[in-house]
Amino acid sequence: MIYADNAATTQLDKDAFDAMIPFMTKEYGNASQPYSFASIEKKALRDARKIIAECINASPEEIFFTSGGTESDNWAIKKGSQIYGGDVVTSQIEHHAILNACKSVSGDGVTVKYLPVDVTGVVKTIEAERMIDENTGLVSVMMANNEIGSIQPIKELAIIAHNNNALFHTDAVQAVGHIPIDVKEMNIDLLSASAHKFNGPKGIGFMYVKRGISIQPYMDGGSQESGLRAGTENVAAIVGMAIALKNNIADMQTTKDHLRRLEKIVVEKLSDRKIDYLLNGNKEKIPGNISLSFRDCEGEVILHRMDLMGICISTGSACDSVNTQVSHVIKAIGLPMDYAEGTIRVSFGRYNDENDAKTLVKALISIVG
């Protein structure tokens, strides 16, 4: 089996798994309890928060553990939009966790505006200058797109938001652990992340909330996470998330070089064989992400034939795999219909090797060639 769908989820890091085991066996105390049996869990949460904060140049008090990207995104949109009030500006290519949360806050005096992107899937800052104004309370633009990997001009967009006294949130689920992030340098107020996209466990993530931003909790309940995210902490998953992130960041440049080599193997072979295809996304996209559109083909058919050969790829985002229509992202970049329907996403991760890339492209050519 060749797994090339790392934008959907990733294999768990071995060190992360080892670090989680004690908290799923003997160290099962509730971190909120005052007795000494819970002190190991308390320390584990403290250490994990510190590691994660260092990975994005934040302070530990600015990191809040959540159940993953979807929860962080809902929190940011539904509660972030209430901080200053006013309208929400987002982009046309956001994940459905953002798009559907935006749908839910729209109306009742809140208007949601959608920034267009260029053919490479990058938000047009000139449109942002036009759309973000004194009526805007929250701007939310993803750091990297989950379908085509395009990296967005976050720093510039945050400046435009702040110049209009609006908050800036970024859904960095596809970016954390894959590209360098400095929340201070990038001027970010709120940031969403999810562990299973960077070789951590599923069902755990975090939100960065810049110090001084008074966001309301999304979940009501106990006083965990300084009263901002109720619910007994999943200590094992939090520990695993921190170790996975630390390891991914330590190897970031090596992994990037490795993944760029794998990308090159695939696209060069397709070009050598004169296959009629388009490579989507911008040049500086998320390492390992290859969104390809083949002329007069069906992405769905390619996916199933690859599956029969033991190769996992995707037609778009994992969450859209039941919806066989052309995705909103492919529509937004304006691909011609004869290519749009033949779109697939190959996403290599750090456990893939050159043989995977060679076998994958050979299989692909046998279908589209």
User: In the range 314-353, which residues lie near ligand PLP by CB under 6 A?
Assistant: 317-319
Task: For ligand PLP, give the closer residue by CB, 7 or 275.
Answer: 7
The number of beta carbons lying within 10 Å of the beta carbon of residue 106 is: 15
Per CB under 6 A, contacts with ligand PLP among 72-101 are 73, 95, 97
Name residues contacting ligand PLP, limited to 116-145 (CB under 6 A): 142
152 in contact with ligand PLP (CB under 6 A): no
190-194: strand order across its sheet: 63-66, 205-209, 190-194, 167-171, 136-140, 87-91, 112-115
Q: Does 302 bind ligand PLP (CB under 6 A)?
A: no
Shortest Cβ 292–ligand PLP spacing (Å): 18
Pairing of strands 2-3, 87-91: unpaired
178 vs 180: CA distance, rounded Å: 7
Binding residues for ligand PLP, total number by CB under 6 A: 16
Check if 55 is active-site: no
- For 6, how many CA atoms within 13 A lie in the half-sphere containing its CB? 25
Among 31, 65, 69, 290, binds ligand PLP (CB under 6 A): 69
Site string for ligand PLP, 202-231 (x = CB under 6 A): ---x--------------------------
Name residue, tokens 């299973």.
196
Of the residues 90, 136, 140, 146, which one makes contact with ligand PLP according to CB under 6 A: 146
Short-list 161, 166, 162, CA closest to 137 = 166
- Tell which residue, 308, 89, 51, has the closest CA to residue 195: 51
Measured between alpha carbons, how far is 269 from 264 in angstroms, rounded to an integer?
8
From 55-63, 166-174, 236-244, 336-344, span contacting ligand PLP (CB under 6 A): 166-174
Joined together, the tokens standing for residue 161 give: 């938001």
Which of 5, 13, 62, 171 contacts ligand PLP by CB under 6 A? 171
Contacts to ligand PLP by CB under 6 A: 68-70, 73, 95, 97, 142, 146, 171, 173-174, 194, 205, 317-319
